[in-house]
Structure 1
Amino acid sequence: MADEAAAPAPWLERQRSQLLAQRGHAWLLHGPSGLGQYTLALELARAWLCESPTPAGACGHCASCHGIAVRTHADLRVLMPEVQMQQLAWPLPEKAQAELDEKKRKPSREIRVDALRDAVEFAQRTSARGRGKVVLIYPAEQMNAVSANALLKTLEEPPGEVRFVLASEAAHQLLPTIRSRCQAHALHWPAPQEALAWLHQQGVAAGAAEVWLRAAGGRPDDALALARSGRNPEAWARIPRALAEGDHAALAELTPPQLVTVLQKLCHDLLVLGVGGAPRYFAAADLPAPAQLPSLAVLTRWGALLRQEARSAEHPYNAGLMLQALVAQAREALALNLPHPQRR
């Protein structure tokens, strides 16, 4: 995730200006992960609550902007799964924090219905600073059916000066009644050169930026997260060969969900190569020649197996055993004959 204190990426700044010029009480920002939904949602909240806003956004200096920066603004309610609230340093409600401190339960991976009901009550109160109120929900698809239904009436008929901004990486999972009550905005994809220039500004070396942007499928926030994960870009290029050779060490740093994602990306690229297309996640030089690929039927079956694995990858399996099983499954499906590595 990009640093909130810094100016947003230029493609997000353009979208912020576009959205601020429009009227509406409920927005749904949607698109694949890594395009900046959360950052753009928070930028809109800053601008709506700012005491000295400009057409381009918040001033960044007033008491309201400071309140958001330090997570204490009385007129902003942020709803996230508790896991992400902790990651992004948003304070939890006192009751929830006490339950976690006392080890009564683990942090929720869904947006809890109690939090939604509190937000509905928040929306009905008078604004503390006189600039209206904002409810930010991210990722909105993490509302379960009960939580989403708790929001519906307030979303349709909001009391007073309250705005909602829902940010989603899987909007198709939202209830149709939620989607229909919001003005939708699809996140824009930045041009590759603009994304690379932004990654360089974040301190990512040129060669690594190209590798990670490719590995992330062109999604700059995901590319930055990969660059900051401590992983080696050269290790990414070696993954296809490591699988063919059964080299578990090259993959040991990956958690089971990360490994399944990597294998799905590799399967995608091999399928694309098999029909004459260009790979998206790996450089062509790191993949087998089309003539050396398994049949499309074999690759399609492997892709189906990986989709099944993805459904349970978060379960607390033995990570080492799952790694071995996934690598064995990949070798059996592919039996790849890879070219010798090229000098870079």
Structure 2
Amino acid sequence: MSKPDTLAPWLQTQLAHLLQQRGHAWHLEGPSGLGQYELGLALVQAWLCEAPSPAGACGECRSCHLVDTHAHPDLSVLMPETVALELGWPLSEKAQKEVDDKSRKPSKEIRVDAMRETVGFAQRTSARGRGMAVLVYPAERMNTETANTLLKTLEEPAGDTRLVLACEATHQLLPTVRSRCQSHAMVWPAEADALTWIKSELGAKSPADSALITCLRAVGGRPEQALAWLRSGWDPKQWDSLPAAMAKGDWSLLAKWAPHQQLDVMQKLCHDLMATASSASPRFFAASSLPPVAPRWGVLARWSRDLMQAARSVEHPYSAGLMQEAWAARTREVLAPEKRPN
């Protein structure tokens, strides 16, 4: 994603806006799926580019090539090791050896020792003369010790060092970190813009607009997630049939999904049922696919709390099969028509 025109249009607009601003530390905030990583990377790439334009990096110079190959000497990208491996960013030699030797698993948090290395990096002189850049993503994965290690650099970076903290859960970021950054709220794309972009990305393989709208609704309006779902073979026709199937205890449509994905479906269903119970519009499912009479608020509130509790251990279940059976039974119980005395 070197050239700025490869960014989604709504991200390109935000990039151009940010490049007009002054500041050494930016906090990109918003819910997941709005392109914080892509925008953050495009921003640091433009800062380091040898021939930048008001729209961003040129995408053709040596500096842009080094960013694309994850080898720029003046760029430090700080991520949890699990995210770095997923996105193709190298780990430090020590961390990679520990993971390869299976002495420990890749960390899901940003490690304090990695932050100390980044702080040391930020104090060096630029190798290519365009300053130093640091990208932290997702920034909420810093624990208190890691975040505190960054504070002095955020407040008074050495030389021409600029930082981007791309965040998908701002409430988890320390106030002392937020207060040292200029904030940029990520923009939600309009549905028409999102549909146009998804169709351009899928080309001839793009389904009908109705299917795209269903998919976009299912992911809460996040175009990149909708695109990923469609590319994975997800069938939009099955989405709105899920509530009725789950009410019958039929989990077959979800059986091949990972536990965290099944939990996500239940949380979305619970959200929409609570919305309809409050006379509001559902967000993820078509109103016609939901039970004609929503469960009582107390039932939904308890289910919501149970799902939040389940989210804490969903990645480490004692038994995925037993957990799925329990979820299926609980969902069927919640969705069962309430029996009232004659």
Once the two structures are superposed, what CA deviation does each residue of 1:212-269 show, in whole Å capped at 9, x if it has no partner?
A: 2101111212222222333322222221112111112211122221111110100111
Is 2:2–2:64's contact at 8 Å kept on the other side of the alignment? Answer: no
| Contact 1:208/1:227 (8 A) holds in 2 | no
Q: Deviation digits for residues 19-52 of structure 1, max 9, x if unmatched?
A: 0000000000010011000000001011000000
2:250 is aligned with 1:247:
yes
Match of 1:223 in 2: 226
Q: SS at 1:74's partner residue? A: coil
Alignment partner of 1:265 out of 268, 283, 286: 268
Letter in 2 for 1:302: W
Hey, what's the Cα distance between the residues in 2 that align with 1:208 and 1:80? 35
Gaps of 5+ in 2: none
Letter in 2 for 1:264: Q
Aligned to 1:57: 56
Question: Matches of 1:34 and 1:176 in 2, distance apart?
Answer: 23
Other structure's SS at 2:312 match = helix
Shift in Å, 1:336: 4.9
* 1:200 alignment partner AA: K
Q: How many Å apart are 1:67 and its aligned residue?
A: 0.5
Matches within 5 A, 1:156-171: 156-171=155-170
User: How many aligned positions are there?
Assistant: 333
Greater Cα shift, 237-246 or 161-170? 237-246
Q: Which amino acid aligns with 1:227?
A: L
Q: Which amino acid aligns with 2:261?
A: Q
Which stretch shows the higher mean deviation, 86-95 or 294-303? 294-303
Which residue pairs with 1:232 in the alignment?
Answer: 235
With normalisation by structure 1, the TM-score equals 0.93
Which shows bigger deviation, 233-242 or 52-61?
Answer: 233-242
What is residue 188 of structure 1 aligned with on the other side? Answer: 187
CA contact (8 A) 2:317 2:323 kept: no
SS state at 1:250 partner: coil
Single out whichever of 196-205 and 122-131 deviates more from structure 2: 196-205
Q: Is the 8 A contact 2:26 2:163 kept in 1?
A: yes
Specify the alignment match of 1:335 in structure 2: 336
> Could you tell me how far 1:209 is from its partner in structure 2?
2.0
Aligned to 1:142: 141
Aligned with 2:290 (options 287, 290, 298): 287
The reply to whether residue 95 of structure 1 matches residue 58 of structure 2 is no
- Distance 1:188-1:336 versus aligned 2 partners, 3 A rule: farther
Percent pairwise identity: 57
Query: Which stretch shows the higher mean deviation, 247-256 or 133-142?
Result: 247-256
CA distance in 2, matches of 1:147, 1:171: 16
Aligned-partner Cα distance in 2 for 1:107–1:42 = 22
Distance apart, 1:104 and its partner CA: 0.9
Of residues 202-211 and 306-315 in structure 1, the stretch that sits farther from structure 2 once superposed is 202-211
Evaluate the alpha carbon distance shift between residue 299 and residue 316 of structure 1 in structure 2; reply closer, same or farther with a 3 A threshold.
Answer: closer
From 202, 208, 212, the equivalent of 1:209 is: 212
Mapped partners of 2:161, 2:212: distance in 1: 40
Report the AA paired with residue 328 of structure 2: V
- Which residue pairs with 1:16 in the alignment? 15
Conservation of the 8 A alpha-carbon contact between 1:4 and 1:39: no
Kept in 2: contact 1:33–1:222 (CA 8 A): no
How many Å separate the matches in 2 of 1:157 and 1:293? 54
Residue 297 of structure 2 corresponds to 296
In structure 2, what is the equivalent of residue 106 of structure 1?
Answer: 105
Structure 2 distance, partners of 1:117, 1:269, is 44
C-alpha separation in 2, matches of 1:146 and 1:286: 47
Deviations 1:104-131 (A, max 9, x none): 1111100011110010010011101000
Cα offset, 1:4, TM superposition: 6.8
C-alpha separation in 2, matches of 1:227 and 1:145: 38
Letter in 2 for 1:190: P
1:126 aligns with 2:125: yes
RMSD: 1.5
For 1:139, give the aligned amino acid: P
- State the 1:137 CA deviation: 0.2
Distance 2:269 2:251 in 1: 16
Deviations 1:64-102 (A, max 9, x none): 011111111111100011111011111111111111111
TM-score by length of 2: 0.94
Partner AA of 2:103 in structure 1: K
| Counterpart position of 2:323 | 322
In structure 1, distance between residues paired with 2:317 and 2:306: 19
Deviations 1:286-311 (A, max 9, x none): 2122xx22212222221121111112
Residue 210 of structure 1: how far off its partner (Å): 1.4
Residue 276 (structure 1) aligns with: 279
Letter in 2 for 1:157: E
Question: Using the alignment, how far apart are the partners of 1:72 and 1:123 within structure 2?
Answer: 16
Q: Match of 2:330, as an amino acid?
A: Q
